[in-house]
Every structure is written in structure tokens, then in C-alpha cells.
Structure 1
Amino acid sequence: MNKIHLEITVNGEARSMMVEGHRSLLDALREEAGLTGTKKGCDVGDCGACTVIVDGRPVNACLMLAVEAQGAEILTIEGLQPDPDTLHPLQEAFMEHGASQCGFCSPGILIMAKCLLDRNPLPSDEEIRFGLSGNICRCTGYTKIFDAIRTAGRRMAAARAQSVEA
């Protein structure tokens, strides 16, 4: 099978790989790049476990061909932390609120929540519900997830306000 040379930036790092034309971005990230934090759930775009950010927009990586990402900037769950010693406010809040149970859906939900909070750090419950509508969790019942997102949003808004004042 003919392979295509793919150049992408993943979590701030330039990556070069050879992929088959029919390969999904999800499979390329997991198998060629070795980034297994993004999960393969349904593999048809229904569950959201494979959500990544491509050029600033959330994408179900199972529905995007890897070759469609040529030249793109991609953020996966592995790149959510600002540095290896510091958790993202969403990760901290998820731990504090016990918002993960089995954890399989968490990478996709965290990435989608980041997109939501980047646009609106203080979303209403309805905005959170709509923002996460493509992400399925079968364990937690969402209450703790919503609590964690609200907590992280408040912290992120406060941090932004402090950086503006400085």
C-alpha cells in the first residue's frame, strides 16, 4: 500500500510520519506517533473519546483522515499540561471533584472542555451540556464533570484577570 508523507505539529512538536491514505488521524496519533492518551471508543464519531484539537477546533480524530491534517497543529490529551510538573486547571479540577471513574472518556471530555473554556471561561450549565453533547460518559452521570468544569473555568478566568492586571 502506498504511504503518504505527513508533516504535522503535535503538542508543539513537529512530527513527520508515513501514513496510508485511508488511515484515520486517531490511528496515526496512536500507532505512528505513539500517543495513546486519545482513546478509540466507537470509531464512528458517536462517543467523543477520540476528541483532539486541530488548528484550534475540536475534532473527532476517528472521523478525520490523517492526510487531512497535513500541516496542522494538533493538541492531544498528552499536550494539555502546560509543563511536565504542572497540571492544567481542568485536570486538577477533575481530580478534586472525582470527575473520572473508569477514565476512558476523560481525554476527550477534557479536550472538549478546554475548547469550551477557552471560548467562555464561565459557561452556564446549558452551555456545558451543549459543549459536551458529543462526549459520552457511561460511569459518572456528568454531575461531577460539570462541577469540575465550572471550578476550572473560575480558576482560568481568575488567572486571566491577574495576567491582564500585571
Structure 2
Amino acid sequence: MAFIRVGPEDFDLGTEMAALRAAAGDIGAVASFIGIVRGGAAAPMTAMTLEHYPGMTERAIASMAAEAETRFALSACRVIHRTGRIPLGGQIVLVMTACGHRQAALDATAYLIDWLKVAAPFWKKEHLADGTDIWVEARNADDSAAARWQTP
């Protein structure tokens, strides 16, 4: 069963790894992805605010995680997504998967992060150094990344 947390609290990789391994049992691989607030392409950025639809966001992530557990034979999975204002360099998201083999763990992690970008109801606002705010629009590249996981 997947562990999912959505909220403003930061996370510690070591703590989350220990929790994943405790839940996973006998495994051969763990893969992880951490998303970090980086500077905006258009102008210097100081922070990002992430908003979500409470309840719906968690259900969407749980559905994605359940699909990943079945598709990649996961032993355990953790998805943590922060909300609220996060400074430049701050951690946004953690996806960790554990299973018997490395390729399945790597693929499951990529699958989850690709789908999180397009199917979980989050909205991002960049706070620029000049004091303006810009809502981040969906990107075609994210849709293309998620589309590669669709089965024919």
C-alpha cells in the first residue's frame, strides 16, 4: 500500500527511506525522485506557491500509486507533495518506490512523477524577484512524458 502525504511540511530523505524500507520487506531495489524549486526561465524567481484541491489531489495520487503498484510489482511506494510557499531551492515532491528489481523501481518512479505532473490537481505560481507573480501553464512536454506510459 502506498503512503501519500500532501501538505506544507518539508520531508527528510533519510527518514522517508527508512519508512519505505520498513514497509517494503524483502526488496532488491529502491528508486527515488526529488523535485526542487528552481529559477524560472522567464525571469529571476524567489519562490513558488503550490495550491491543490484537498481530497481530490490525494485520491488522484492514490489512484496513480495503485496503478504503479500493480504494473511494476511494487513492494512499497511513498509520494510526498508539498503545498504552500516554497523558497528557491526548496524541496517540492518526493517519489520513492521499492521492489524486487532495479528497472521496475526506476520505471515506477518515472511513471509516477510523469503522471503527477499532468493528472494530479496542483497549481503553481512563480514569485519573481521583481515582485510579480506568474501562474505556471501546463507544458506539452509533460503531456508527452505521461503519454509514453499509456498502454495501447
Q: So what's the TM-score if we normalise by structure 1?
A: 0.29
Structure with more relative contact order (C-alpha pairs < 8 Å, separation 6 or more)? 2
Relative to total residues, which structure has the larger strand share, 1 or 2?
2
